[in-house]
Structure 1
Amino acid sequence: MNPDVTERLTKHTGPLTDTTLITDRRGVQVWRVTAGGGPDAEPGQRLAVKIPADHDPAPTREIAVLRALAEQTGTTRSPLIDGDGFTAGPWFDGPSTMALFKPARTSTLPSPSEQAALLAGASDFCHAVGELHRLGWVHTDLQPAHCIHTDHGARLIDLAGAQGPRPLTDPALNTSYNGALAHLEAPELARSLATDTPAHPTYASDVYALAASLWTAATGHWPLNYPAAGIDPHSATLTELRTAIGTGHIPLRTAPPALSMLCDILRPALDPDPASRPRAAELAQALQAPHHQALQSLRPTGGS
């Protein structure tokens, strides 16, 4: 970690007893550190520290989102530090959804206990998204890596792009949505982004990304069957890919037999028509139900 950042950070946390670089991509380094104890951190508390390059406002915006959520709910992810050239928040211990679903991707027949754990984890992810929606927020960047399964439940991370029921306090942070991971974007968003028209994330587009994330984590493949549509996702430009996704005509992949129940439950949430998708909370309930009877309980999300 940059010594200057370390010096500024320790004013909040006390001496750091551990620093580990977790990721360095898209212009932001993410470090896991352990605080020695200071004004804003307990001794031994692990924190996620984000250091943006080129004045990327995403980490600062995420702290603003988390503070707005804390004010709304009367709780907080403590600490929430917007420092000089860095941000810091709690580190959540536990596997991501992608890591949790590794048994499904590496075994032709996960054991009954593994399948039960996977369905429970998928339901927890959906519940976390449903709670965010209940508060009036849309995540906008749901991915298999953006949900952490802790001992205290699923926790959503990477909320830098989240859109809430009211503007953030700092007007400069009220930026418009300009896309996330195209393979997980709902067709209505992809269609707008491909034509450079304003794209407006909704609960329904979040539900699409949620289901696409679960499908990807479970199967190891994007949910859309690109070869069946004559598309090479590796050679297509981003605009070409979004144009194709935006048609809503790319079929879903065939699910592996061992994952057919899970994928059948996810299919309604991947409907190209946003009005036909279930709500996140309803998807969670379907994943908790024992058999395909749960599909009958799914109903559309409606508007945002």
Structure 2
Amino acid sequence: MRPPGFWASGPDHPLARVLAPAGAAYGALVARRMDRTGVRAGCPVLCLGNFTLGGAGKTPAALTVAALLAELGRAPAFLSRGHGGRTAGPMQVDPRRHSAGEVGDEPLLLARRAPTIVARDRPGGAALCRRLGADAIVMDDGLQNPSLVKDLSLVVVDAPVGVGNGLPVPAGPLRAPLARQWPHVGGLIVIGEGAPGDTIARAAADRGVPVHRARLVRETDDWAGRRCLAFAGIGRPEKFFATLVETGATLAAQRAFPDHHAYRDGELAALLEAARRLDAELVTTEKDAVRLPASFVARVRVLRVRLVFDDPDAVRRQLQQVLDAAP
């Protein structure tokens, strides 16, 4: 879904006030669910989640955390619900055989780096991770899912956005009231710069929650002077468009689609025609690319990014402490 504009307009926006009772009821239900006791996976479980609906950078963060776990001598596996896919699982993802329509787009990206399981039943998915030899599980999303005991939950925050107006869905973007989510948080990952992210970072520090600053870094820098038609179906398409401009590329046009959008043939044909008419290259994100037909991907440039921590040693220390303490 694309976040409604009023979610960023403050809690006194007329729509936010009208929807606040529904948000309070929904948030209370989610908060009570979060307080339930889950089962242990038999190895450490590290969750990359967020306070809100929408994309915040969880998947790049999960990839970097898994790489740090490997540096610490662990054999991690990814566990995902497979949002946008129709497979209930538990099932191991094979990028050579599976499509985004089957398993979701994020699992296809994760599976390029480590064994990846999609499962709506998280304990069942964790059991399959263990059978595959994993001795640590990295959950991509799942902070609000209580079915597994999490040894560490790292909440990812997109600094320019923060938590919007601070209200639960549908009045705002929060999945549950912040006060009810904080007890489940073991660390905060703030991506980028922005006053909303600074506010959340201060709230975390006041509670003794470690704050890890991070940024998204482009894999290549050969974009300067290119004329592009950029399109994206992610949580914040405008963030992708801004990143592309920062590379020195010229945006002839941009097209925003809903998060996890399944592109139709007519839409792809329209993108090709618009690029031809504008004499521009088609450019998209890595997450979008896995949802496109192979024949179309061959005609598109992909902007790849990775998450880099400002102080990776601090993250390693926290991970090591969790690994040492886990039963």
The TM-score range, normalised by the shorter chain, is: under 0.3
> RCO greater where, 1 or 2, for CA within 8 Å and sep 6 or more?
2
